[in-house]
Amino acid sequence: MSKTAVVTGSGQGIGKGIATRLAKDGFNLVISDIDKEKMEETVQAIKDSGSEALAVEANVTSRQDINDLVKKAADHFGSVDVFVNNAGIDHVAPLLKVEEEDIEKIFAVNVNGVIFGIQAAAEQMKKQGGGKIINACSIAGHKGFPMLGIYSATKFAVKGLTQASAQELAPDKITVNAYCPGVVGTSMWERIDARMVEEMGLEKPGDAFEKFTAGIALGRPQTPEDVANFVSYLASPDSDYMTGQAVLIDGGIVYN
């Protein structure tokens, strides 16, 4: 029987890369996003490659949406073996300029969304006798970066949630790990670059991206496929003895 993976925020970017790789690995895929058009495009691409995929529109800030997402996935494919809490948003600003609504918005997506995903996936996986929960962390979950203060705070929270839930869910044969990318060439980084150019007084678009990628040990920016390759390992039986870890996969930026 084929296994099933659910990936939130998988209409584009890293999430799409992860979904595409897991489909290649033989998983049935449940693609979830708030962007219906992008979500349907990803589903069609996976189907065109010969794999099974289902689109379920869901907002990770809604516990009910995430509960419904897991239920629809289990009803359609019979199980939820891997749940990837990939959905996330960025925020670029000096801490002294951060507004209350900025804090509420980013925590609702990056932290509350992960909590709701862990809760819903774990309840389903308990019924099945186990599973794997995989969370999106970041190099900003290991080191605070200027201009990314509240984003870093959300990713430190994800690392803590990963460690705590791994210990709580281990008796149910559920592992919980996280992947921590660096500077990935996606639309998110285009937005970060634009804001940093503005806030830091840089000359032109691309300057912030170039500044952040210049020191990568492996000499190039990261791609969604780089991240997806590692998530493939976390989703596979090869990672069965690994839990509670938030692993850096950044080409050599942060070391700890």
End-to-end CA distance of the chain: 39
Q: Does 14 carry a binding-site annotation?
A: yes
Tokens encoding 20:
């595409």
Q: Does 151 carry a binding-site annotation?
A: yes
State the CB neighbour count (10 A cutoff) for residue 79: 18
Q: Does 12 carry a binding-site annotation?
A: yes
- Is 151 among the catalytic positions? yes
Question: Which residues, including other chains, have CB under 8 Å from residue 237's CB and lie 6 or more apart?
Answer: none
Q: Does 184 carry a binding-site annotation?
A: yes
Contacts by 59-63 with C-beta closer than 8 Å and gap 24+?
A: 59/34, 60/8, 60/9, 60/85, 60/87, 60/109, 60/112, 60/113, 60/114, 60/116, 60/117, 61/108, 61/109, 61/112, 61/113, 62/116, 63/116, 63/119, 63/120
Q: Does 181 carry a binding-site annotation?
A: yes
Given the residues 151, 233, 241, 255, the one annotated as active site: 151
Q: Does 185 carry a binding-site annotation?
A: yes
Q: Does 102 carry a binding-site annotation?
A: no
Burial class (CB in 10 A: 0-12, 13-18, 19+), 59: middle
Catalytic residue annotation? 151
- Known binding-site residue numbers: 12-14, 33, 86, 151, 155, 181-186
- Known binding-site residue numbers for NAD(+): 12-14, 33, 86, 151, 155, 181-186
